[in-house]
Structure 1
Amino acid sequence: MRKTFRIKKPEEFQAVFGQHRSVANKYFVVYQAAKPTQKHFRLGLSVGKKIGKAHDRVWVKRRIRQTLLELKPELPAELDILVIARPAVAGKSQQFIKKQLIHAFRLARIVKDEEHAKSK
């Protein structure tokens, strides 16, 4: 994923947290903030130490990024999205992570239900 698609700076994270628009399931918390002037969505990831050692956290981040690359055409361009991984996601497969992330995005109304009905 290109650097222009990432949220890295602490003040950018705080701006999204400040809007208090979040949803959660057992595996992820998803925050979103509207940015009408953006040309594409931006993503911020947070994977805490409770997930495991550094290589475990990187593994989870890669799975999340891969899922978002696959969902890229369906994601609205005007959003900043923060994904916080919960400890329950540690050691899960790519397919499981994708399914749970899509579930969290449906709860947040970022993607539509019918777009991924066939992926069940």
Structure 2
Amino acid sequence: MRNVPGAPSARARDPRTSCRPRRPTRVTSRGPSNVLLVRNLRDPATPYSGALNLRRAFGNRARMVTVDPGGHDAYLANGNPCGDRLVTAFVAEGRRAAHDTLRPAESR
């Protein structure tokens, strides 16, 4: 198990005790293959390189859907219907894409 360099640390919180993090969650390539990462390519708040590092750490357990418009939103609010369809298929029906997908910005 290892920490993912450049990726935000996932922390478990126990609301009964406090808001302080308990211990970092370790991301590995072992475990269920039911992870979908949804990412905006040009998110001003989080670097794309961190998302790529996290994706590598998950190995074949995950797929990543990346959409191209700027901003922080990556699902439903970004004007990328194709990316939205991929995420909705996963959430509603459990269908995960066969490979990582980069959806370019679509004209409105």
TM-score by length of 2: 0.34
The structure carrying a bigger helix percent of its residues is 1
Structure with larger RCO (C-alpha < 8 A, sep 6+): 1
Larger radius of gyration: 2
TM-score of the pair, normalised by structure 1: 0.31
